Structure 1
Amino acid sequence: MTSEHTTADDIVYDLISIQYHALKGAEVYDRYIEDAHEHSDVVEFIRRVKEEDDRRAQEAHELLRDLTKKGEGIG
């Protein structure tokens, strides 16, 4: 028996991928901040990027939650 691949499967996969990569990026930014500790402008830039990735991961999480609550992402 084969299972059918749906657009909803793609959406869930894509959101999980976005969340994963945003979280992995945020994980390394602390090291980048340490590397740039003498360059406040670079540190500030990296902090902004980290915050953006944190927000992106959170939004992907919320979208996944909403999709699976509705049953749209299961399929």
Structure 2
Amino acid sequence: MATGETGFDDVHYDLISVQYHALKGGHDYGQYVRDARNAGLDDVAAFFEQVMAEDSARAKQCHEFLRQLGGTANTEPKTGPA
């Protein structure tokens, strides 16, 4: 398996990256929902809630894939030649 500059194989890094961004987005979207509700824009708030739910499902799927890939034993940095 090829490794990138991080020393981790690309698939683990990619899953962790997608999971992080999905969780970060979900955190930010909570504020967007509040902003839309405060503006009386329930349809926009519902849209942000939908996006938040999709990111939550995406993060959960990444977590499951990472679990299936073996947890910490397969996510340690690789040493030596790639």
Distance in 1, Cα, partners of 2:3 & 2:33: 42
Structure 2: give runs of 5+ residues left out of the alignment: none
Whether 2:60 is the aligned partner of 1:30: answer no
Identify the structure with the greater helix proportion: 1
Structure 1: give runs of 5+ residues left out of the alignment: none
Q: Which residue of 1 aligns with 2:52?
A: 50
Distance in 2, Cα, partners of 1:25 & 1:73: 24
Q: What is the alpha-carbon root mean square deviation over aligned residues?
A: 2.1
Deviations, residues 19-74 of structure 1 (Å, cap 9, x unaligned): 000000000111101110110110100000000000000000000000125x6666
Matched-pair contact (CA < 8 Å) for 1:11–1:73:
no
Q: Which amino acid aligns with 1:16?
A: I
Residues matched between the structures, number = 70
